[in-house]
Amino acid sequence: MLKTFSIGGIHPAENKLSADSAIQALPIPQMVSIPISQHIGAPATPVVKKNDEVKVGQLIAKSSGFVSANIHSSVSGKVFKVDDIMDASGFRRTSIIIKVEGDEWLEHIDRSEKLLTEISASKEEIIKRVGDAGIVGLGGATFPAHVKLSVPPGKTAEVLIINAVECEPYLTSDHRIMLEKGDEVLVGTQILMKALEVNKAIIGIENNKPDAIAHLTKLATNYEGIEICPLKTQYPQGGEKQLISATIKREVPSGALPIEVGAVVQNVGTAYAVYEAIQKNKPLIERVATITGKSLKNPSNWMFRIGTPVKDIIEAAGGMPEDTGKIVGGGPMMGKALSSVDVPLTKGSSGLLLLPREETARKATKACIRCGKCVSVCPMGLEPYLLMVCADQKNYERLEKDAVMDCIECGSCSYTCPAHRPLLDYIRLGKGKVGQIMRARK
Amino acid sequence: MSIIAITILALCAIGVTAAIILYFVAQKFKVYEDPRIDEVEEALPAANCGGCGYPGCRGFAEALVKADDISNFNCPVGGAAVMSHVGALLGHEVKAADPTVAVVRCNGTCENRPRTNQYDGATSCSISASLYSGETGCQHGCLGLGECVEACNFDAMYMDEETGLPVIIEDKCVSCGACVTACPNNIIELRKKGPKSRRIFVSCVNKDKGAIAKKACDVACIGCRKCEKECPFDAIVVENNLAYIDYNKCKLCRKCVVVCPTNAIHELNFPPRKEKPAAKPDAKTVKPAAAAKTEVKDAPKAEPKANDSKEETSDNK
């Protein structure tokens, strides 16, 4: 009996179309636009101006607070302008636009493929350099990694959990990283263990990736304290709290952080980025994304430079299919539809899903029949049908009482609802409002 | 027989005892309530819209009775008539507040503002606004999902299917502000109704730079400052690439309307413009409203005088 989290969950069709496609390097575009806010927290402050020459890996925007992240140039060339351009949600946000000239890297970045297993950096040094490298959680939440590594006083980390679940259907970027960069991931995990001063790490992988489980299990014998934990395929196992429940059978209390139960969770892509930053001095300037879709010619995985326009990766995968109805940034469950293909790919872009028109059409909403399916699939034990009604009626007190803030926005409720009610849309709205009220109270 | 008599007697006895107890309890716990509250409540329109800022008419009546000075209170539904009645009841002098009305500050019709994508999520402006910038290139304008219309308790709004924008029915609007609160993009504003309902306002809330705003919408305010320079009363301020007309300073001279290169400034309920300057205020010669862009050098005061008899209502865009 394989492990999984304790309550709720669904199992949508996996559709991992690009699982066998090796990671390829996406050609460097002529122009990149790098938003200064690609992470949760305060936007970074630009430190370059128009016509400045930049090299690959050079700092172009500085972290502007504790919860914030540095941003580095992903290309070499000249800063074209610092201006507001459209982000993935259509709002205009400050971005640094760089005209590419050649591909000149900063000298101290080690670009060789050689595996460096020796970890010479100290705990403090690791945390500092992870912060300097602008690494954020690459699973999609983009929470600055150094903040998670800085364990608050009075708390101790007991175990590091590496999130290699990739529970979103379609996405395969983490899967490919594990297969192709297995050793690097494990060294990265050891670096993270050193930063947290723990001697145990668990890598949680769903059993729909048997090759990755076998590969890492074999490699892990060379590394001390790393355990590979195969998990039953169940969405949303990649949620932090769900993964902790699945791997170490501990429940994070409502409103608390994982450190409360002695766990720190990092994504497998983050572990790889940490390896690159500490061992190779390479800041977070590129990452892997899956581009996929049933009608797409060539569903594949690409290593792209941050700031590359979305249309470039679509082009690389064989162009946009005729019947595309929606382009979703991220996976089908939690991803967000893009309003334009001109927006840049950012640190949080784990995938791009081109859905055919007939699959995107929303079905007509009907009345709630009180079947309770949403309640049974909610991984946080909430009552989505009730939260939706409360959000619609603006009953924020009740929403807060019913723990709307615990919602992880996984969308299992909307997915399962037989009346096609937009449960999550309303819950997210209510969550936003309650969050505002709670912050105002402080 | 005796059982029936005993029952009746016993019940009477219980009734009398309870009445006596209740009488004393009522005396003991009596809550004094100013009788004027009922009177004032009676005078209020009982719309319970909350437009005054209090929870319903009863709450407003309590606040009015309690207050020493009611000059800052206003019932937008009842307006000056109700407030002077209330003032008389409470023995206060009430200065008539200028009536206000809601205006929609967006003219991004399907024609003026082409759609760049299609939204198929839940039909709610707040949800759409929390997800993304909307169906057009303008991230500030009307989302067109009608949350304001839903919020209106007075049937004073409807969605125009052709333009995709909400329309306010002036006669029904009581200026309670429910639509203002409902709109996530803060498009709707309560503005002074103005003499004969004549108003001038900037029908745009786009704070983007001129080129971007213009690209997204043909009738966007591009922040060119022409109106600011033109205005003889310093009523117009351009901030963040957006002009705003202060209705307390505006003298309705309409000079700004003429200079606006994108027709973002709207005039409502004005008579059609005259061909000739105001030096000869000849009320008979009027030009159709379509030719409103002609340069007119009207003296502001001549306007109403010349056209008193020609009340015409231009369509509320």
**pLDDT tens digits, A187-222:** 999 999 999 999 999 999 999 999 999 999 999 999
Q: Of B278 and A345, which is predicted with more confidence? A: A345
Tokens of A158: 């007991």
Contact B122 A426 (CB under 8 A): yes
User: Residues with Cβ < 8 Å from A399, sequence gap 6 or more?
Assistant: A387, A390, A391, A430, A431, A433, A434
Residues of A with Cβ-Cβ distance to B117 under 8 angstroms: 90, 339-340
Q: What is the model's pLDDT at position A303? A: 96
Q: What is the model's pLDDT at position B275? A: 59
Amino acid at A414: S
Tokens of B295: 């340069």
Residue by residue, DSSP assigns A38-100 as -SSSSPPEE---TT-EE-BT-EEEE--SSS---EE-SS-EEEEEEEEEE-TTS-EEEEEEEEE
Average pLDDT over residues B207-227: 92
Instruction: Evaluate if residue B310 carries a pLDDT over 80.
Output: no
Beta bridge partners of A61: A46, A71
Residues of A with Cβ-Cβ distance to B126 under 8 angstroms: 429
CA A152 centroid distance within chain:
23
Residues of chain B with CATH 3.30.70.20: 100-191, 194-317
Query: Could you tell me the residue ranges of all domains in chain A?
Result: 123-280, 373-441
Query: Shortest CA distance to A190 belongs to which of A116, A119, A265?
Result: A119
Q: Tell the residue number behind the tokens 């924008």, with chain if given.
A: B165
Q: What is the model's pLDDT at position B183? A: 94
What's the Rg (C-alpha) of chain A?
21
| Cβ-based interface (< 8 Å): residues of A facing B | 84, 86, 89-92, 336, 339-340, 360-362, 422, 425-426, 428-429, 432
Instruction: Evaluate if residue B280 carries a pLDDT over 50.
Output: no
Tokens of A111: 């670009």
Lowest-confidence pick of A46-55, A433-442, B299-308 = B299-308
Q: Tell the residue number behind the tokens 């995990």, with chain if given.
A: A189
ipTM rounded to 2 decimals: 0.87
What's the Rg (C-alpha) of chain B?
27
Minimal Cβ distance to B121: which of A86, A339, A425: A425
Average pLDDT over residues A355-364: 88
Residue B137 distance to chain A (closest CA, Å): 8
**Residue B78 to residue B80: CA distance in whole angstroms:** 7
Question: Residue A374's pLDDT band (boundaries 50, 70, 90)?
Answer: very high
User: Residues with Cβ < 8 Å from B305, sequence gap 6 or more?
Assistant: B281
Contact B122, B150 (CB under 8 A): no
Beta bridge partners of A99: A31, A78
Tell me the CATH architecture of domain B100-191. Answer: 2-Layer Sandwich (3.30)
Q: Tell the residue number behind the tokens 């069709």, with chain if given.
A: A13
Question: Residue B95's pLDDT band (boundaries 50, 70, 90)?
Answer: confident
Q: What is the model's pLDDT at position B71? A: 82
Average pLDDT, chain B: 84
Nearest chain B residue to A325 by CA distance is: B118
Q: What is the model's pLDDT at position B127? A: 92
Contact B233, B251 (CB under 8 A): yes
Sign of CA dihedral B149, B152, B154, B157: negative
Sign of CA dihedral B298, B301, B302, B306: positive
Average pLDDT, chain A: 93
**pLDDT tens digits, B105-149:** 999 998 899 988 888 888 899 999 998 988 988 999 999 999 999
A40 burial (CB, 10 Å; 0-12 / 13-18 / 19+) is middle
Beta bridge partners of B234: none
Beta bridge partners of A59: A72
Indicate the CATH number of B194-317 among 1.10.3720.10, 3.10.28.10, 3.30.70.20, 3.40.50.2000.
Answer: 3.30.70.20
Q: What is the pTM of this model?
A: 0.84
Report domain B35-90's class: mainly alpha
Residues of B with Cβ-Cβ distance to A90 under 8 angstroms: 117, 132-134, 139
**pLDDT tens digits, B45-88:** 988 888 888 989 999 999 999 888 888 888 888 888 888 888 88
Q: What is the model's pLDDT at position B94? A: 80
Q: What is the model's pLDDT at position B79? A: 83
Lowest-confidence pick of A265-269, B12-16, B238-242, B290-294 = B290-294
Instruction: Tell me the HSE value of B139 on the side-chain side, using a 13 A CA sphere.
Output: 19
Residues of A with Cβ-Cβ distance to B128 under 8 angstroms: none
Q: What is the model's pLDDT at position A395? A: 94
Contact A429 B132 (CB under 8 A): no
Tell me the CATH architecture of domain A123-280. Answer: 3-Layer(aba) Sandwich (3.40)
Average pLDDT over residues A181-186: 95
Q: What is the model's pLDDT at position B306? A: 37
Average pLDDT over residues B156-181: 92
Instruction: Evaluate if residue B12 carries a pLDDT over 70.
Output: yes
Q: What is the model's pLDDT at position A101? A: 94
Instruction: Evaluate if residue B289 carries a pLDDT over 70.
Output: no
Contact B122 A432 (CB under 8 A): no
Contact B186, B244 (CB under 8 A): no
Question: Residue B157's pLDDT band (boundaries 50, 70, 90)?
Answer: very high
Question: Residue B231's pLDDT band (boundaries 50, 70, 90)?
Answer: very high
**pLDDT tens digits, A235-268:** 999 999 999 999 999 999 998 999 999 999 999 9
Q: Tell the residue number behind the tokens 């206003």, with chain if given.
A: B74
DSSP A322: T
The percentage of chain B sitting over the pLDDT mark of 90, rounded to a whole number, equals 51
Q: Is B52 annotated as a binding residue?
A: yes
Residue by residue, DSSP assigns B144-191 as -S-HHHHH-SSS-EEEETTTTEEEE-TTT-----HHHHH-TT--EEEE
Buried b / exposed e along A84-107 (16+ C-beta atoms within 10 A): ebbbbbbebebbbbbebeeeebbe
Size of chain B in residues: 317
**Residue B278 to residue A261: CA distance in whole angstroms:** 80
Question: Residue B314's pLDDT band (boundaries 50, 70, 90)?
Answer: very low
First to last CA, chain A: 45
